[in-house]
C-alpha cells in the first residue's frame, strides 16, 4: 500500500525528567529519515517543527499539584493534535517525531478526532500514571491515562481522545511499571504484553495479538514507538533505559508486521535523546524502524 507521510516535529522535553530529548526530531532527521522512507517507496513531506513554548513563558508547576509543566505540555499537544488531524484530513499519514512521550497525547487526540482508533504502544513503561499516582510528576509517564481520561484527566477539554477506548489499547514490551500503575493497568480494559510474554510466545504472535486488539471494530491504529522499548544495547540514547528489552531483529519484525497489517493510521517515534546517544545510533535505528513500519523490506 503506497503511503504519503507527513513528518511533524515536536521538539519538547517538558514531559521528561532529563534534558536533551527536545533535540530528538533534529537527530532523527539528521540520521536520514526522509531518505530512508523514500527508499521504502513512501512519498514524504516534512512540515518542520511545531512551535514549542519557552520555559520562561509559564510557571512550570502550575496547573496540577503533581504534573510538571502541564501548561506547556497542553500547549504542545494541542498544537500537535490539530496538525495530526489536518494531515489525516488531507490524505497524509502523520509521523510525529518527539520529543518526549507526552506528545502522544496530541497524536492520539488528533488521530481519534474523526475516527474510532486503536493503539499499539511499544514501550518499556506503561505510561498509565496520573498526577495522583505518579511518583515523579513527569507527564511522559501519563499519556495513555490522559488520552483515556483517567483520574485527573477525566473530561478535560484537551487530553481525552474521543474515539479511543481502553479495550482497543495494547501495550507491548512492558518491563518497568510502578506498583500503583501496574494495579491500574490490571484493573483497566487495556491488554498488556510484558517482555516475558515476548520471551515465551515470540514477537510475531504477541505483535499480531496486539494488532488484533487495536483493530477490533476500529477505523485504524495509532502506533506509538518509544525507543526505550528496545534493549539499551540497541538503543542507548534514551532517558529511561531498562535492561532486557526488545532486540534489533524483534523490533524490525514487529514493525514489519505493522506494515503488513495495513492498519496504521498515525505513527510516532519518541524519547530519542541525542545527548545520551552514541554516534547517533539510536536516531539511526529510529529511522530504520520507521521505514520497516511503512513497508520497507529486505527483498
Catalytic positions, please? 101, 123, 125, 127, 140, 226, 228, 271
Distance, in Å, from the CA atom of 21 to the CA atom of 237, rounded to the nearest integer, reads: 9
Distance, in Å, from the CA atom of 64 to the CA atom of 105, rounded to the nearest integer, reads: 17
Instruction: Name the binding residues.
Output: 101, 123, 125, 127, 226, 228
Sheet with 4-10, edge to edge strand ranges: 43-49, 4-10, 93-98, 264-270, 220-226, 117-122, 164-174, 191-194
Q: H helices of the chain, where?
A: 24-30, 33-39, 70-89, 104-111, 143-147, 179-187, 195-201, 203-215, 248-261, 281-293
For Cα atoms 8, 12, 15, give the angle at the middle one, nearest 5 degrees.
Answer: 125
Phi, psi of 263 (to 5 degrees): -100, -10
Q: Which of 41, 239, 251, 10 is nearest to 110 (CA)?
A: 10
Instruction: Name the binding residues for Mn(2+).
Output: 101, 123, 125, 127, 226, 228
Residues 6+ away with beta carbon under 8 Å from 199: none
Distance, in Å, from the CA atom of 126 to the CA atom of 190, rounded to the nearest integer, reads: 10
Amino acid at each position: 500500500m503506497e503511503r504519503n507521510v507527513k513528518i511533524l516535529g515536536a521538539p519538547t522535553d517538558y514531559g521528561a525528567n532529563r534534558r536533551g530529548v527536545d533535540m530528538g526530531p533534529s537527530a532523527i532527521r539528521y540520521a536520514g529519515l526522509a531518505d530512508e522512507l523514500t527508499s521504502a517507496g513512501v512519498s514524504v513531506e516534512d512540515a518542520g517543527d511545531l512551535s514549542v513554548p519557552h520555559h520562561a513563558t509559564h510557571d512550570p508547576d502550575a496547573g496540577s499539584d503533581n504534573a510538571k509543566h502541564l501548561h506547556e505540555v497542553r500547549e504542545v499537544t494541542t498544537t500537535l493534535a490539530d496538525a495530526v488531524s489536518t494531515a489525516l484530513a488531507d490524505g497524509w499519514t502523520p509521523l510525529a517525531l518527539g520529543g518526549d512521550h507526552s506528545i502522544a497525547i496530541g497524536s492520539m487526540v488528533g488521530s481519534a478526532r474523526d475516527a474510532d482508533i486503536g493503539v499499539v504502544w511499544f514501550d518499556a513503561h506503561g505510561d498509565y500514571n496520573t498526577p495522583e499516582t505518579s511518583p515523579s510528576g513527569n507527564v511522559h509517564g501519563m499519556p495513555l491515562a490522559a488520552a483515556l481520561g483517567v483520574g485527573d484527566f477525566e473530561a478535560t477539554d484537551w487530553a481525552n481522545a474521543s474515539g479511543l477506548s481502553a479495550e482497543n489499547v495494547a501495550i507491548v514490551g512492558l518491563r518497568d511499571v510502578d506498583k500503583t500503575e501496574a494495579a491500574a493497568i490490571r484493573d483497566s480494559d487495556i491488554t498488556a504484553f510484558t517482555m516475558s510474554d515476548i520471551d515465551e510466545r515470540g514477537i510475531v504472535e504477541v505483535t499480531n495479538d496486539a494488532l488484533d486488539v487495536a483493530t477490533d471494530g476500529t477505523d485504524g491504529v495509532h502506533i506509538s514507538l518509544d525507543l526505550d522499548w528496545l534493549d539499551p544495547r540497541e538503543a542507548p540514547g534514551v532517558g529511561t533505559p531498562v535492561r532486557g528489552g526488545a532486540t534489533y531483529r524483534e523490533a524490525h519484525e514487529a514493525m514489519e508486521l505493522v506494515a503488513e497489517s495495513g492498519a496504521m493510521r498515525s505513527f510516532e517515534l519518541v524519547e530519542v535523546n541525542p545527548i545520551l546517544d552514541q554516534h547517533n545510533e539510536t536516531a539511526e535505528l529510529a529511522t530504520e524502524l520507521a521505514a520497516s513500519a511503512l513497508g520497507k523490506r529486505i527483498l
